[in-house]
């Protein structure tokens, strides 16, 4: 597995580097429209073909990777952190804390958060840069997306609170922050890492869905989310398989993240 992890790391570094150096690597600006080459197939000039406006898909994929690869993991980190803190407090403290936080989690799971996005979009100046707008979108996703994971982490924290391990630690005089950091937190790692891994593509796809109501990345800035929207036309995809490139890139990145995250090796 160590070799696999190294390969995954290498791929991620390559993709990161390519996206950060998109300005040098991309053969064309992401917004440039080659209007005589609309929906062109892959060729030497356009490696992944062009989209419906004649924009080079390969260039847009490189630039779009930058947005999604930076913002989605950041939002995932935010939501995971909030889930750990809130779920952890609920599970560890128990009693009234647990009851109140449990209800707050249920509220968060029930509310139509779409309207929060609409409110934020309404408050943003119209000339806000697409980058500001998409950063805000991912931040909000991170701030409201913690609830499902918090429930699972809460249950995990409850189990650990009652476990022999923690009982022994307490008996040895370990309390407070040391108890949490040294004995509880490691026990929550499987769930925390699973949550982080799941959150990344969830937020990228969430951004794609929000684009349907004008809350995604504004034209002409590409992101994996708005590139994935091309897949909404399966027949067109079948005739031009290069539209699957963003999906392939996302799958590769998500798989690499998963392989890189520390996992419990199976006890031999």
CB of 176 to other proteins, least distance (A): 22
* 78 vs 215, beta carbon nearer other proteins: 215
List, in sequence order, every residue forming a beta bridge with 56; answer none if it has no partner. Answer: 50
* 21 vs 109, beta carbon nearer other proteins: 109
Angle at 207 (CA atoms; ends 145, 12), nearest 5 degrees: 90
List, in sequence order, every residue forming a beta bridge with 50; answer none if it has no partner. Answer: 56
CB of 45 to other proteins, least distance (A): 18
Cβ atoms of 146 and 83 closer than 8 Å: yes
Sole window of 18-26, 66-74, 75-83, 214-222 interacting with other proteins (rule: CB under 8 A): 214-222
CB of 246 to other proteins, least distance (A): 9
Distance CA 259, CA 264 (A): 11
Interaction between residue 247 and other proteins (CB under 8 A):
yes
Interaction between residue 135 and other proteins (CB under 8 A):
no
Of 41, 181, 233, 241, the residue at the interface with other proteins (CB under 8 A) is 233
CB of 189 to other proteins, least distance (A): 8
Cβ atoms of 141 and 79 closer than 8 Å: yes
Sole window of 18-26, 63-71, 175-183, 197-205 interacting with other proteins (rule: CB under 8 A): 197-205
Interaction between residue 182 and other proteins (CB under 8 A):
no
Distance CA 221, CA 81 (A): 29
Per-residue contact track with other proteins, 41 to 60, x per CB under 8 A?
Answer: -----------xxx------
Of 24, 96, 127, 171, the residue at the interface with other proteins (CB under 8 A) is 127
Per-residue contact track with other proteins, 85 to 124, x per CB under 8 A?
Answer: --------------x--xx-xxx-xxxxxxxx-xx-xx--
Of 136, 183, 193, 260, the residue at the interface with other proteins (CB under 8 A) is 193
CB of 68 to other proteins, least distance (A): 11
Number of residues that bind other proteins (CB under 8 A): 83
């Amino acid at each position: 597995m160590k070799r696999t992890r190294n390969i995954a790391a290498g791929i991620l570094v390559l993709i990161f580097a390519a996206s950060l150096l998109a300005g040098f690597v991309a053969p064309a600006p992401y917004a440039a429209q080659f209007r005589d080459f609309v929906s062109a197939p892959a060729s030497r000039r356009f490696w992944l073909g062009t989209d419906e406006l004649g924009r080079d898909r390969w260039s847009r994929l490189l630039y779009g990777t930058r947005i999604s690869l930076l913002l989605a993991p950041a939002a995932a980190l935010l939501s995971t952190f909030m889930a750990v803190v809130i779920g952890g407090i609920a599970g560890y403290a128990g009693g009234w804390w647990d009851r109140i936080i449990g209800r707050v989690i249920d509220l968060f799971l029930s509310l139509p958060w779409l309207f929060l996005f609409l409110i934020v979009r309404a408050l943003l100046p119209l000339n806000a840069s697409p980058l500001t707008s998409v950063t805000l979108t991912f931040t909000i996703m991170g701030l409201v997306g913690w609830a499902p994971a918090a429930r699972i982490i809460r249950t995990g924290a409850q189990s650990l609170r009652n476990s022999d391990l923690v009982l022994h630690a307490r008996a040895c005089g370990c309390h407070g922050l040391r108890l949490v950091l040294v004995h509880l937190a490691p026990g929550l790692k499987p769930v925390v890492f699973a949550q982080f891994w799941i959150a990344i593509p969830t937020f990228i796809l969430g951004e794609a869905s929000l684009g349907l109501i004008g809350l995604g990345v504004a034209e002409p800035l590409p992101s994996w989310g708005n590139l994935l929207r091309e897949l909404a036309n399966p027949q067109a995809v079948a005739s031009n398989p290069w539209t699957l490139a963003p999906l392939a890139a996302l799958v590769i990145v998500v798989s690499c993240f998963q392989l890189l995250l520390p996992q419990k090796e199976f006890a031999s």
